[in-house]
Amino acid sequence: MNSIQTDKKKIRLLFVCLGNICRSPAAEGIMKRIVDKNELQDIIEVDSAGTSGWHEGDLPDERMRVHGDARGYDFSSKARKFRKTDFDQFDYIIVMDDDNYNNVKSLASSSEQVKKIRMMTEFLVQNAHHKYIPDPYYGDSSGFELVLDLLEDANEGLLQAIKKKYSL
Ligand code: 4NP
């Protein structure tokens, strides 16, 4: 790593869902792998949070870990609650559904902060007809597979959008 890269401002991404144990930790793990594959780990940082603090400190849901493992991912981040200071720390706050959007937006204190909130589905390429990432918590294994399919697609699209915007 040279000094120019060290000094460069990092691009910080925060994925947000309700519990931070299914969708957003999976989005975080998938994006981390894409970032590594593209050798952008010195430039792009990734984290996740939940609008609720119900599962604070927990590992991702066992079912999501098993489904992720089958695709070669290791989802192992600990759940935390979204906080107002995240608006200052992150460049993109990427939510999974409309409830997440409204909950995060209710904590914003400026239009600049609101502009940081983006729907994950905005970045879908192959599955652009989906308007939200469905909560798999109360469903069966097909819901977890669908979430992973959508998150892989959207994260590839998100990386392309970031590369274009920041000329990476
Ligand atoms: P997530 O899924 O928002 O994708 O992490 C959920 C996790 C837990 C609950 C709901 C959704 N819950 O009701 O505890």
Q: What are the structural domains of the chain?
A: 11-163 (3.40.50.2300)
Q: Measure 145 CA to ligand 1 centroid, in angstroms.
A: 16
* pLDDT band at residue 7 using 50, 70 and 90 as cut-offs: low
Residue 2 reports pLDDT greater than 90: no
- Residues 108-161: pLDDT tens digits? 999 999 999 999 999 999 999 999 999 999 999 999 999 999 999 999 999 999
Residue 108 structure tokens: 């914003």
Residue 1 reports pLDDT greater than 70: no
Which residue shows structure tokens 């998938």?
30
State pTM to two decimals: 0.96
132-137 CB contacts, 8 Å cutoff, 24+ apart? 132/96, 132/97, 132/98, 133/17, 133/23, 133/96, 133/97, 134/97, 135/17, 135/18, 135/22, 135/23, 135/96, 135/97, 136/22, 136/23, 136/63, 136/64, 137/19, 137/22, 137/61
What is the distance between the alpha carbons of residues 164 and 168, in angstroms, rounded to a whole number? 7
Chain length of the chain: 168
Higher-pLDDT residue of 81, 3:
81
- Residues 9-50: pLDDT tens digits? 899 999 999 999 999 999 999 999 999 999 999 999 999 999
Any atom of ligand 1 within 6 Å of the Cβ of 100 = no
Q: Measure 138 CA to ligand 1 centroid, in angstroms.
A: 8
Any atom of ligand 1 within 6 Å of the Cβ of 137 = yes
Angle between helices 141-166 and 62-70 (to 10 degrees): 70
